[in-house]
């Protein structure tokens, strides 16, 4: 059985890690390189860096940050935010990132998914989906949660995989920063619909939330931010709880292997 992954997420704005609730009320959480080093040491399986304002401000993703992070990390990391072309994706990958995540730009021009996958491989192509629950489905929203699209999130995930995405990162805006637990229904609906790994994000508050995620859905990874940034929970404590529940994870002492 494949091991489940624990992934800290670092939302970056103006070179600093920030965290808020439902993509608003942002507060500083520290230096991204310092936090990355700490999570690497603590046994995180991967890291995700998202420039949360890049799409709205039409700003380049922080290529320089990716290069700085690559100098200190021994674990894989993904960079997303404002990636509007395969050329920019390639630049980020060349400075050391293992994957790139496309979000708003892919909704506007779905062909970018296939172009990145064709040039750099599906394993380096992540489709990041921000969504909120509307009536009887989950609706894709873009530009940091500010613009609804009318697009069904499960159908969009399926389409993205067909176009070449090798992984799906689900961001539940309804749960983001609320500490109400992962949106299990949303996560499982997408995980059952696609044949690639699915990362669940939004709402984690305790190790028990990660246990529920993996026991009750087909998610491959759980992602969280504030609970790790502010020391409310450690990657190690989450892995201990998962192992106690019989859920396979990579041991902390082997995190650098």
Question: Which residues form the catalytic set?
Answer: 11, 130
Distance CA 47, CA 44 (A): 7
| Residue 155 burial by Cβ neighbours in a 10 Å radius (0-12, 13-18, 19+) | middle
Q: Which of 195, 189, 192, 196 is nearest to 172 (CA)?
A: 189
Strands (DSSP E) found in 72-143? 77-80, 99-102, 125-134, 137-142
Structure tokens at 182: 């992962």
Sequence-distant (≥ 6) Cβ neighbours of residue 126 within 8 angstroms: 78, 80, 99, 100, 101, 102, 165, 166, 167, 168, 169
Distance CA 18, CA 33 (A): 13
What number of CA atoms fall less than 13 Å from residue 62's CA on the CB side? 23
CA 105, 109, 115, 121 torsion-angle sign: positive
Distance CA 44, CA 210 (A): 14
Contact 108, 129 (CB under 8 A): no
Q: Which of 165, 217, 163 is nearest to 190 (CA)?
A: 217
Distance CA 106, CA 116 (A): 11
């Amino acid at each position: 059985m494949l091991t489940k992954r624990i992934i800290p997420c670092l939302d970056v704005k103006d070179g600093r890690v920030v965290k808020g609730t439902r993509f608003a009320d942002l507060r500083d959480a520290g230096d991204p390189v310092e936090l990355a080093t700490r999570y690497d040491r603590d046994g995180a399986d991967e890291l995700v860096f998202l420039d949360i304002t890049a799409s709205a401000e039409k700003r380049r993703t922080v290529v320089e940050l990716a290069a700085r992070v690559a100098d200190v990390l021994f674990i894989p990391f993904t960079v997303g935010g404002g990636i509007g072309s395969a050329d920019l994706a390639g630049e980020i990958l060349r400075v050391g990132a293992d994957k790139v995540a496309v979000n708003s730009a892919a909704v506007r021009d779905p062909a970018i998914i296939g172009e990145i996958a064709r040039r750099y491989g599906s394993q380096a192509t992540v489709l990041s989906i921000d969504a909120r629950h509307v009536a009887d489905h989950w609706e894709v929203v873009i530009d940091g949660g500010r613009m609804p699209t009318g697009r069904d999130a499960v159908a969009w995930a399926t389409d993205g995989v067909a176009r070449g995405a090798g992984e799906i990162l689900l961001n539940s805006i309804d749960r983001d920063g609320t500490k109400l637990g992962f949106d299990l229904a949303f996560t499982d609906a997408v995980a059952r619909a696609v044949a690639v790994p699915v990362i669940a994000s939004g709402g984690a508050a305790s190790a028990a939330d990660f246990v529920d995620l993996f026991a009750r859905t087909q998610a491959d990874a759980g992602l969280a931010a504030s609970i790790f940034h502010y020391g409310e929970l450690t990657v190690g404590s989450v892995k201990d709880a998962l192992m106690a529940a019989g859920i396979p994870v990579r041991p902390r002492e082997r995190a650098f292997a």
